[in-house]
Amino acid sequence: MRRKIIAGNWKMNKTPSETVTLINELKPLVASEEADVVFCVPAISLTTALEAVKGTNIAIGAQNMYYEESGAYTGEIAPNMLTSIGVKYVIIGHSERREYFAETNETVNKKVIKAFEHGLIPIVCCGETLTQREQGITIDFVRQQIKIAFLNVTPDQAKIAVIAYEPIWAIGTGKVATTEQAEEVCKAIRECIAEIYDDATAAGVRIQYGGSVTAASAADLFSQANIDGGLVGGASLKADFGKIVNYK
Ligand code: PEP
């Protein structure tokens, strides 16, 4: 039985002091015995957030990292910088990074490999545009993203990965995929992992749905056989996130 994982993607929101305020507000609301809870905060607030969640069930994640160890990469953050302060998760290949910061399937793959090398758990994002969905190529497109993201990743690494299926047309738009649409793609992702590795590896991978998840849609989505929680943007900055974590 896979443990649910519900992660908040704070995106480019909240200063360090606002981070402390929001964490203090959310702390009692996101207490859960049944799900892993992760707050992915802006890089500048990672240290503050780690301090603020001490003694709680909340883990801290970064929203990005670079795939080199160190060197002349102005503005980038190395994986050991994250692990050295206690960051456990890192979002990789979010569609906003692919769209605005030129991330490709290949850079996603390099980052996934590097994250695992450093003991970070990557939350690997994939998902189609509205045009791709309308053209009927959603599954092919997502399978290709997954196959490239996991190139040269070992089965032992893959089974602890988190994959976030996030249809781009549902992110920040208020449009949620139907539970059938979300489950269909999450199932296809699991089958793709089984093809690359084997059934045991596929059974271990946790697959989240992301895209305008709210307290109202969480229960239906997260009760699907292949949906192991959610990656939540907008609603993770509000008290509603507590209801999403405790969706049952
Ligand atoms: C996201 O950015 O990962 C996301 C799912 O955003 P939202 O919940 O706001 O659609």
**pLDDT for 47-73, tens place per residue?**
999 999 999 999 999 999 999 999 999
Name the β-bridge partners of 9: 40
Distance CA 214, CA 174 (A): 9
* Domain range annotation of the chain: 4-245
pLDDT of 1 over the 90 cut: no
pLDDT of 117 over the 90 cut: yes
- Which among 107, 111, 131 has a CA at the least distance from the CA of 123? 111
Distance CA 143, CA 145 (A): 5
CATH, domain range 4-245: 3.20.20.70
Look up 166 and say whether it is catalytic.
yes
Whether ligand 1 lies within 6 angstroms of the CB of 231 is answered as yes
The b-or-e profile of 203-233 (16+ CB within 10 A means b, else e) is: ebbbbbbbbbbbbebbeebbebebbbbbbbb
Average pLDDT over residues 223-232: 98
The amino acid that residue 165 corresponds to is Y
pLDDT at 190: 98
Whether ligand 1 lies within 6 angstroms of the CB of 234 is answered as yes
pLDDT at 145: 98
Look up 51 and say whether it is catalytic.
no
**pLDDT tens, residue by residue, 228-242:** 999 999 999 999 999
Tokens (6 digits) for 6: 């519900």
Distance CA 149, CA 164 (A): 12
pLDDT at 86: 98
Distance CA 203, CA 32 (A): 23
Strands (E), the chain: 4-9, 35-40, 58-62, 89-92, 121-126, 162-165, 206-210, 229-232
Pick the catalytic residue from 96, 103, 166, 183. Answer: 166
Give the position of tokens 């989240």.
208
Q: How confident is the model at residue 175 (pLDDT cuts 50, 70, 90)?
A: confident
> What are the start-end ranges of the H helices in 73-214?
79-85, 95-100, 105-117, 130-134, 138-149, 155-158, 179-196, 199-204
Distance 177 CA to ligand 1 centre (A): 12
Q: How confident is the model at residue 25 (pLDDT cuts 50, 70, 90)?
A: very high
Q: How confident is the model at residue 161 (pLDDT cuts 50, 70, 90)?
A: very high
pLDDT of 174 over the 90 cut: no
- Best of 166, 175, 237 to mutate for ligand 1, by most ligand atoms within 8 A of CB? 166
